[in-house]
Structure 1
Amino acid sequence: WTTIVDEMNRYDKLPAEARKYIKFKDAAVEQAVREKLGKKTGKITMMDVQSIYRLKLPQGVKSLTDLKYLTNLEYLDAQQLGIKDITDIGKLKNLRVLYLQRNSISDISALKNLTKLEVLSLNGNQVASISALSSLTNLKELYLRENKIKDIAPLAKLTKLEVLEIGMNKINKIDAIKKLKKLRQLSLDNNQITDIKVLKDLSGLEKLYLQRNSIVSINSLSGLKGLKYLSLNGNKITDLKPLTKLTSLEYLYLKENKITNVTPLKGLSNLKELYLGENRISDYSPLKKMYLKPDFRCDFKIA
């Protein structure tokens, strides 16, 4: 009995705001909140939802208006919901991880004040302008694949980035990446890139995806000694000499280029996979040593 009395007294002392009941506008959001709180029925107060730090929204969510009550949220998964308007997410100042992939979002200006964000995924939306992202300087992982982005200048200040995915856009200039020295993984595939000189200083790179661009020269890759994974399929490359010293490489993809000579690759003794199909190569014999390794995978044969 005492505990109930104590509880009532404690409730009476709460600020009026915390005691307010929430009127949910979206039934699916309410359902997700109830599950999180373990409260199937009954009213939900503002104080109740302060204990929610992580939330995954289910299919069927139509409006995000109710999210404004969840001010302590640090992790929100709102992917594949058909969402267009993310205004209310902009009020969640404590967010660190935000998944918004596969929606119908074109305007991301609401995100500009979410300065605690460390992980943001917007893959598969309709985003053209990313200027709102320039203030998100705590980002470590940013996923912008399959959008309508041409200009990546706003990324120049995001110097904490370790993972950046901007494949399948309309990008031809990548100067903004020059100062992102902490990058370990970079995806620039399926764009309109010809010049990759700015990559030469990104010595921390371990995975680099450059397939399906219009790259001729790969000279700037010659110093990226930490690379383990490199995809260059579907470009216009003829000279492989810049790859000679990349001895950490384990996975190398060079299909659909204009390569005739594979001798520069013969010293890459850590390779586990090498794909060279649809080039102009007549002699694979320089690769015989790696070819004979038991676990080596490739798409060519050496007699």
Structure 2
Amino acid sequence: MPHQDDDHLAQALYRQMHERGESWSEAGAALELGPAELAQACEHLIRLHLIDSETGTAVDAAAALARSLRDSHRALDRLVEQHVRAALLAQRYLGLPGRRTDDTHIEFFARTHHQERLYQRIDELTELTRHEIASMHPAAPWTSEVLEKGLARNRVSIGNGLRVRSLHAQITFADPMMREYVNTLAEVGVEVRAAPLIPTRMLIYDRHTVIVQADPEDLDAGAVLIQGDGVVRSLSALYDYCWMTASEPEDVPRTADGVTLTEAQRAVLRLLASGAKDTAIARGLGVSVRMVTRTVGELTTILGATSRFQAGVRAARLGWLD
């Protein structure tokens, strides 16, 4: 993490380069920066994708944000791919006869036939856990009954002195029922965070037992329970990465409740977040500039933003660019 003064220096350098179209050497000379100061500021800006290291010129901040989000999503995609492979191995191969070399235990719960058994195992694990329960939840059609059961389990866990963490998809915060539920979780002592992208549904108990959705793309594919150090350690690392990069609930932008974007609005939003101007967006979508300008105005109003850039940032944080 850079020192605050170093960050201010990098901001001044970027502002000089961006507003005046200067290279980093020209901007550094104009700001009378020493070689060490210039190198440190440039390194900071390159790390944020705000300087093109080949040309030495400034990159638009909205475009840099879009690139950073794409890089993060690629990293998550790779972790999700690892999870899918682990789930397939657990579901289809680990049950075959063979030599066992560790303490790994696998159970598969088909959603259609074994859902009550899965809930029973969740209750059992909640009672047996001694230190921490961590969960992540992608956007889903939650019911009040399911949420009430989850809240009851969390109350028991907090009462038993456990650390309980709950990670949710930011886009679900547009649902008044989910927002009230998350606020209630925080009130009873659950640590809550939100992320633009949640790769799969997962519950981790004391970093030794995990229940994970068998297929991240299909809730009806059932769930896999895994006990043991190897696979669970990898899935715990996935959780830690998502938790580390997530936001506190109060930092999630507020939008109109239940808002649903049209396909046209989504298309404009993606190009807007990449730093494209209205004329370029109109040309790319084959529509008029007037229509694009009107749509951008609608989006900034929905997002409660005061600028195009802020609209892109808030849309990203809400998970609307996925």
TM range (shorter): under 0.3
Larger radius of gyration: 1
Going by fraction, where is helix more abundant, 1 or 2? 2
TM-score (structure 2 length as normaliser): 0.27
TM-score (structure 1 length as normaliser): 0.28
